[in-house]
Amino acid sequence: MKVSEPPAREAAALHAKHVLTPWVAQGARNPPVVVRGEGSYLYDDRGKRYIDFSAGLVAVNLGHGHAAVAAAIGEQARTLAYAAPTFAHDRRAELARAIIELSPWSDGGRVFFTTGGGEANEDAMKFARVLTGRHKLLTAYRSFHGSAPGAGTLSGENRRWPNEPGIPGVVRFFAPFPYRSPFHTRDAGEELERAIDHLETVMNYEGAANVAALLIEPVVGSNGVILYPDGYLARVRELCDRHGILLIFDEVMTGFGRTGEAFAAQRFGVTPDMFTFAKGVTSAYVPLGGVAVREDLAQRFDRTPLPSGHTFSGHPVAMAAGVATLQAYREERVFERARDLEPQLSEGLNALQQRHRVIGEVRGVGAFFGIELVADRETRTPLVPWQGSSSLQPFFNDLLARGLYVLGRYNVAIVAPPLTISSEQLGEGFAILDAALGELQASP
C-alpha cells in the first residue's frame, strides 16, 4: 500500500491520532508541525519561525540544515545503505579513528557503535561486568542514562520507575548539587567533602570489590544542568582507582563540543576508562551512539568475545553522517565557538536573573546552561516540585508561542543552543525569555 504524504494542515491531526509522544500524557496536546530547519531556526507548516534554544534535545550542535552533512548522508545511501556490522567498512574505521583522536586517551582506544545513548550505556555496563568479573554498578540519583529496561535502571529519577524492579546490581548514590545540597550545606567545599565521604561509605557498604563500574554524567544533563564542585570528578577518579572500579562518563549530552572541549573529560581534566556518546556525534542528523573504550581494556576483547551486537551497529549512513559532522566541527572551529558562547550565555542569563526574582540560579559551562526557577529565592523553594505532579508546561508553551523553543523539566529550563548560533540570535532568544519570565513572575 502506497503511503502518500499528507497535506501540512492534516499532519497535526494525523500525529494526534497515530503517534505516541514520549514522556507526556497524549491528550490535549497541540504542538506545532515542524517542517524545516535552518541554522538555529525551526519553521512550522504555517511558516512561523522558532529559535531552537536547546538544540533539539541538546543534540543539534551544528544547527539545522548543514549542507555537507546532508550531502554525505545522501551519497552514502546511494553508495551502500547497509552493511552488517561483521564487515569492515571505510566510514566505520574513519569515524572510530576520529573519535579516538578526540578522546582524552594518549594511548588510544576503540569504539563500539550503537544507535543511541541509552543503548550505549547498557553496553558499557556489560563491558564493565565482563572486564572486571564484578556485577555491581554505581550510578547517581537525579541522573538519566536512557529509558529502556537496562538504561532505565541505571537512571536515578522518576523515568526509571516504570522499569522497576529493573535489572539487579545497580546501586545509587547522591552526587553533590551545590544549589540544592543533599548533604545539608551551602558551602561548596563542605559539599565536596561530604559527597566523597558519602560515596566511599556506599562503596564500603556494597563491598567495593563487588563494584564493576561507576557511571556518571560529568555534567548532569536533563535533570538540571548541574555542575559539581571543583575537584569532585577527580576525587571520584581517585576512589575508583583505589578500589579497581572502572569509571565511565556518560557524555551523551556533553560530548562533541557542548562544554567547549571535545568532551567534558578534557574540560574538567579527568580521564575515564570508558565514555558513552550519541547526539552530537552526527549533530542528531542520523541516530548514532557508541561506547569508547581505552586501548588496554579494549585489548582484552582480542581474546574474549565482545558481549554485545546490534543489527544497526556502525550503520553506513550514520557513519557517513558522523564523519562529515566531525569534519565540520574541525573546519568551522565549532568547539572553540562553544567556548566563545560561554561568556555570552552567562552574561545574558545572569542579566535575566537580575530582572526576574523567579530565577533562583543560573549555572552552566560552555554552551550548556540551566535556569532554576523558584517561588522564593531565599528559601530556594522550586516553582514546581521536582518529580511532582504540577508542571511548568504553560510557561514552555508560552515561550513556544512567542517563537522560542526551550527544553524544560519541572522547574529547570535548559538553554543549550546550536554551537553555531550567532550573537544576534542569542539576543533575540534572551528578549523572548525576558518577556515570558515577566509574564510568569506576574502570574498568581
d(CA 369, CA 362): 7
d(CA 318, CA 326): 12
Q: Check whether residue 324 and residue 342 sit in a common domain.
A: no
Rg (CA), the chain: 22
Which amino acid is residue 21, in one-letter code?
A: T
Task: Choose one of 313, 331, 349: the last residue of a domain.
Answer: 331
Q: What is the pLDDT of residue 1?
A: 47
pTM over 0.85: yes
Report the b/e string of 115-150 with b at 16+ CB within 10 A.
bbbbbbbbbbbebbbbbbebebbbbbebbbbbbebb
- Please state the φ and ψ torsions of residue 58, each to the nearest 5 degrees: 55, 55
CA diameter of the chain: 65
Task: Choose one of 331, 355, 378: the last residue of a domain.
Answer: 331
Q: Check whether residue 131 and residue 46 sit in a common domain.
A: no
Q: What is the pLDDT of residue 4?
A: 54
Do 193 and 144 form a contact (C-beta atoms < 8 A)?
no
Q: Check whether residue 290 and residue 404 sit in a common domain.
A: no
Q: Check whether residue 77 and residue 55 sit in a common domain.
A: no
3-state DSSP assignment of residue 102: helix
Q: What is the pLDDT of residue 389?
A: 86
The residue segments making up the domain with residue 280 are 69-331
pLDDT tens across 266-315, in order? 999 999 999 999 999 999 999 999 999 999 999 999 999 999 999 999 99
Which amino acid is residue 317, in one-letter code?
A: V
- Please state the φ and ψ torsions of residue 229, each to the nearest 5 degrees: -60, 150
Residues of the chain with pLDDT under 70: 1-9, 444
Task: Choose one of 331, 361, 380: the last residue of a domain.
Answer: 331
Q: What is the CATH number of the domain that holds 193?
A: 3.40.640.10
- Residue 362 included in any domain: yes
d(CA 254, CA 265): 9
Q: What is the pLDDT of residue 28?
A: 78
Domain count, the chain: 2
Report the b/e string of 405-438 with b at 16+ CB within 10 A.
bbbbbbbbbbbbbbbbbeeebbebbbebbeebbe
pLDDT tens across 331-350, in order? 999 999 999 999 999 999 99
3-state DSSP assignment of residue 48: coil
